[in-house]
Amino acid sequence: MNAFIAIVRRDLLLAMRHRAEAANPLLFFVIVVALVPLGLNPRRETLELIAPGVFWIGALLATLLSLERMFRSDFDDGSLELMLISPQPLPLIVLAKILAHWLVTGLPLVLAAPPIALLLGLPTSSLAVLLTTLVLGTPTLSAVGAIGVALTVGLRRGGMLLSLLVLPLYIPVLIFAASAVSAADGLPVTGQLYLLGALAVLSFTLAPLAAAAALRISVS
């Protein structure tokens, strides 16, 4: 458990030292969301219709961009190999890395959501649902993404491949979260939220195991 906390703390500290780098995904997210009304038309009805999808696709892409950081620098400086041979169970270490990644990229998305929702003209009544989907959905993105990064960490140009591997696996989260947000105006959304929660629990149980196995394969 100590190792778990130590790794989370270390990763947060590293992120704090490179604040500009850590803020990039969030800026990317804001820019993507701001571009969509420019590319389409900014009429209120159109925006309201597409806002949940735009919001979540932006969140998906922002997470994707930041995924590489999860293991890349550790791989480059050799600390990843030390983690592999350490007596601590590797899935636990991976879980700590996932949690740290979420704290650095997922949590800022949640915090930045209300003003961006205003930008897209989402009705304030659905804001609570949007925040809930983000809280339940973004951890799944980090956890599933960890598998993809672990598989591609040894590659010099893994970026495009990473998106090919990870994006199909993100589809369920996108579907449930976006539909919950669009249904939030009066329709019941508990079903979607339960499913998002189930996905989060499932991915947090299985993804560390898979990612640990993937690390053992690709770092050898």
63 binds other proteins (CB under 8 A): no
Separation of alpha carbons 148 and 152, rounded Å: 6
107 binds other proteins (CB under 8 A): no
Cβ–Cβ < 8 Å for 177, 137:
yes
155 binds other proteins (CB under 8 A): yes
One of 61, 103, 127, 213 touching other proteins (CB under 8 A): 213
165 binds other proteins (CB under 8 A): yes
Closest CA to 44 of 127, 133, 125, 118: 118
| DSSP letter, residue 126 | G
Smallest gap from residue 122 Cβ to other proteins (A)? 19
One of 3, 50, 131, 167 touching other proteins (CB under 8 A): 167
66 binds other proteins (CB under 8 A): no
168 binds other proteins (CB under 8 A): yes
Nearer to other proteins, 131 or 175 (CB): 175
Q: Exposed/middle/buried for 19, CB within 10 Å: 0-12, 13-18, 19+? A: exposed
Per-residue CA distances from 25 to 19, 81, 125, 175, 201 (Å): 11, 27, 27, 22, 24
Binding site for other proteins (CB under 8 A): 147, 151-152, 154-155, 157-158, 161, 164-165, 167-169, 171-172, 175-176, 179, 195, 199, 206, 210, 213-214, 217-218, 220
